[in-house]
Structure 1
């Protein structure tokens, strides 16, 4: 697994409605409209932390940046995050995404079932990365930015 990012990655934005496809695949995502001027990392699947600005609550996330090539319905790049530890919908909320590691390239799968299997593996990899020393360091930095501390 390539656990390096090609850019320092932290971005903020508002959660907006997407196509709704994630629910049907078993991976509901929060679609994030990056703030103007935000530096969006290159298309890939990432492990990261999601900080909800209104509450300060932090969620584990697997973040997809890309154009949804399996479905070929757009060339627009989307930022979508699957929160491992909540099924809350937080449309309209502002969030911060703190990227920990790049998991893999964004690719076109032969079928939605192949995509689901890959997403399941992505989440497992993401959880391992977030539990690592590196994941904890990024979490500490994210919380410091919001004046919070990590509880063990």
Structure 2
């Protein structure tokens, strides 16, 4: 007769992929200021082409009716333009999300152009900057007696 050999305890089942991914997405959402993908995808239609170039949607905060939508704008001028269109934008959002879904817009200035922003002015090329710097160095050398 062979001696009794204890068996190992049964392994626990791995966590469900839904639970594991939910934790990852929750943390990612906190860091990236999560926006509902449906709103982001339809943003040009919801906001209109003019506003879509000036701002981008952020988090939809609050519960139930009367939530607040964060909007990210590049500067104060864009914030003022969005503010003037506030009522119409809230009406369009509520027609898409349901009556009374969005009550407020929180406009947040980021200091960076929004994703759809157009370039207003072209800057100098690298060659032009290099030539200007070379000219500046030469002028400084002449002024300092060739040093």
Say yes or no: TM over 0.5. no
Q: Which structure shows the higher helix fraction?
A: 2
TM-score (norm 2): 0.22
